[in-house]
Structure 1
C-alpha cells in the first residue's frame, strides 16, 4: 500500500511509519517543519512539508496524488502545549482538510486517530483546553463520519503511554477507561489499513489480552 500520514513527525506517526515501511508499504509523512525531515526518513517515510493550518484543499490533494496514495491517516495534533484556538485549527480543521483533500484526490480510505471522550458537545468540567480538545476531536469525527465518499475508521485510544507495547489490546465500541502504549496504538492503525471490512466503525482501544491482528480481524464485516 501507499499511505500518507498527516502529522508525520508525531510519536504515533513515527511508530506507524516504521511498522508500515518494514512490511513493505510506501509511506509519506506530512510535516510542518522541514527540520523534522531526517527523523521522518529514519522511520522509513518520505517527508513532505505541508502545513495543514495554512494549506488549501488543492495543496493537500496534490500531496496525496503525488504520493499515489491508497489511504490517508490523520495522526496530527496541536500538541499538549497549545491553547484552545489551535485545537480548532489543527485537531478539527486539519482533520477536515485532510478529508477534503482525500476526496478531491479520489482516495477513499481514511483512518482517524481520535481520542477517547471525543465529543463535539463535551461538558468536561476540568481543564478548559482539554475540553476544547475533546470538542474539536469530536467535531472532526462527526464530519468524517458524515461523508459517503470515504471509507473511514475512527480510532479512539485510551490514555497513551510510551512504555513498550505488548502486541495485545482490547477493542470494542466502548471499552471503558484505560491506557494503551503508543506502540500498540500504532500497530492497530497498521492492522486496520491492512484489513478490508474495518471501515465505517468508531472503535475504542486500550491495553488488553487479544493479539492486535486477531482483535482487528474481529471487526471485519
Structure 2
C-alpha cells in the first residue's frame, strides 16, 4: 500500500512510517521543511515537500494519485498560535479530505484528540491567548472531525487519543465513544493507525483511546460506534 501521511515529521508519523515500511508498504510523508527529508528516509519513508497552508486542492490531489490511503497526523504544534490551530489542525485536515476525494483515495485516518467536542465556544474564537488557545485547538479538531464524518465518499477512521507519552509501546488499549482522561504512548497510537489501515478495521468509526487491557487488533475489530 502507498500511504500518504500529512505531518510526516511528527513523532507519531515517524513511528507509523517505520511500522508501515517494515511491513513492506510505501509510506510517503508530507513535510514543509526539506531538512526533514533525511529523518523520514531513516524511518523508511519517502518525503513529499509541500506546505499544506499554501497549497491547493488540485496540487495536493495530484500528489495523491495512486495512493491507497491518507493519514492526517499534522498539527500546528504546542508553540503555535491560535490561528494555526485553525489553518493546520482544521483546514489542513479538510484540505486533505478534499484532495483525497478528488484523487479517488477513499481510505482516510485522522488523528484527533480526546474530548474535542467539549470545547468552550465562548473562548474558542480568534484572537485568543493563554488558555483560550487550547479551546481554539479543541474547536479546530472538533470541526475537522465533523467534516470528515459527513463525507460518504471516504472510508474514514477518527482516532482520539488521550494524553500522549513517549513511553514504549504496550500494544494494549481501551477504546470507547467517550473515555475518562488517560494517557497512551505515541507508539501505540501509531500501531492503532497501522492496524486500522492494514487490517481494514474501524471504518466509519470515531473513538477515544487510552492505554488499557485489550490487544489493539481485537479492540479495533470490536468497535461499533
TM over 0.5: yes
| CA distance in 2: counterparts of 1:89 and 1:197, whole angstroms | 30
The alignment partner of 1:28 has SS state of strand
The alignment partner of 1:185 has SS state of helix
User: What do the CA deviations read for 1:26-50 (whole angstroms, capped 9, x no partner)?
Assistant: 1100000000000011101100001
RMSD, matched Cα = 1.5
Structure 2, unpaired ranges of 5+: 124-129
Paired position in structure 2 for 1:25: 25
| CA distance in 2: counterparts of 1:84 and 1:197, whole angstroms | 34
The alignment partner of 1:88 has SS state of helix
Paired position in structure 2 for 1:7: 7
Is residue 2:150 matched to residue 1:153?
no
Is residue 2:47 matched to residue 1:50?
no
How far 1:199 moved relative to its partner? 1.1
The alignment partner of 2:116 has SS state of coil
| CA distance in 2: counterparts of 1:164 and 1:197, whole angstroms | 24
How far 1:197 moved relative to its partner? 4.3
| CA distance in 2: counterparts of 1:137 and 1:197, whole angstroms | 22
| CA distance in 2: counterparts of 1:32 and 1:196, whole angstroms | 29
Is residue 2:136 matched to residue 1:138?
no
Paired position in structure 1 for 2:119: 122
Q: 2:91 is matched with which residue: 89, 93, 98? A: 93
User: What do the CA deviations read for 1:64-121 (whole angstroms, capped 9, x no partner)?
Assistant: 11xx2110000000000001000011000000000000000000000000000212x7
Is residue 2:107 matched to residue 1:109?
yes
| CA distance in 2: counterparts of 1:154 and 1:166, whole angstroms | 21
Structure 1, unpaired ranges of 5+: none
Q: How many residues align?
A: 218
What TM-score, normalized to structure 1?
0.95
Paired position in structure 2 for 1:194: 198
172-181 or 45-54, which deviates more: 172-181
User: What do the CA deviations read for 1:116-144 (whole angstroms, capped 9, x no partner)?
Assistant: 0212x711878111100000000000111
What TM-score, normalized to structure 2?
0.93
